[in-house]
Chain A
Amino acid sequence: MGRVIFKETRVERVVNVPRNYFWNRIRAFGEIKTLLPETLLEVKLPKDFSNSIGDLRSVYLGDPYPGEVIERLVGVEEGLSLTYSIVDKSCLPISNYVACVNLKDFSSNDTAVSWCGHFVGDGNTEDEIADLLEALYNLILNNIEDQYKKYQS
Chain B
Amino acid sequence: MLFLQSHVNRIVKVPKSYFWERLRAFDKIQTLLPRTIKEVKIPDNFSNSPGDVRYVYLEKVYQGEVIERLDGFIEEKYMSYSVIDKSCLPVENYVSTVNIKQASQNYTEVNWFGHFKAEKKHKDETVNMFNFNYNLICDNMEKQFNDK
Contact = CB atoms under 8 A, between A and B. Distances in A.
Q: Is the interface of A mostly helix, strand, loop or mixed?
A: strand
B97 A74 contact: yes
Contact of B74 (A54, A74, A81, A87): A81
B113 interface: yes
Contact of A54 (B3, B50, B53, B71): B3
B107 interface: no
Interface string B97-130: 1010000000000000101010000000000000
Give the size category of A's interface with B.
Answer: 20 to 34
Most buried by B among A72, A81, A96: A96
Contacts of B55: 1
A120 B51 CA distance: 11
Interface string A8-31: 100000000000000000000000
Contacts of B82: 85, 96, 98, 118
A6 B69 contact: yes
A102 interface: yes
B84 A96 contact: yes
Most buried by A among B69, B72, B78, B82: B72
A80 interface: yes
A98 B115 contact: no
A145 to B, nearest CB: 23
A137 to B, nearest CB: 14
Contact of B69 (A1, A74, A98): A98
B78 A74 contact: no
A100 B72 contact: yes
Nearest to B70: A118
B74 A75 contact: no
Contacts of A4: 67, 84
A51 interface: no
B7 to A, nearest CB: 9
B113 A102 contact: no
Interface string A119-138: 01000000000000000000
Interface in A79-131: 80-81, 83, 85, 87-88, 95-96, 98-100, 102, 116, 118, 120
Contact of B71 (A56, A72, A80, A98): A98
Interface of A: 1, 4, 6, 8, 53-54, 56, 72, 74-75, 77, 80-81, 83, 85, 87-88, 95-96, 98-100, 102, 116, 118, 120
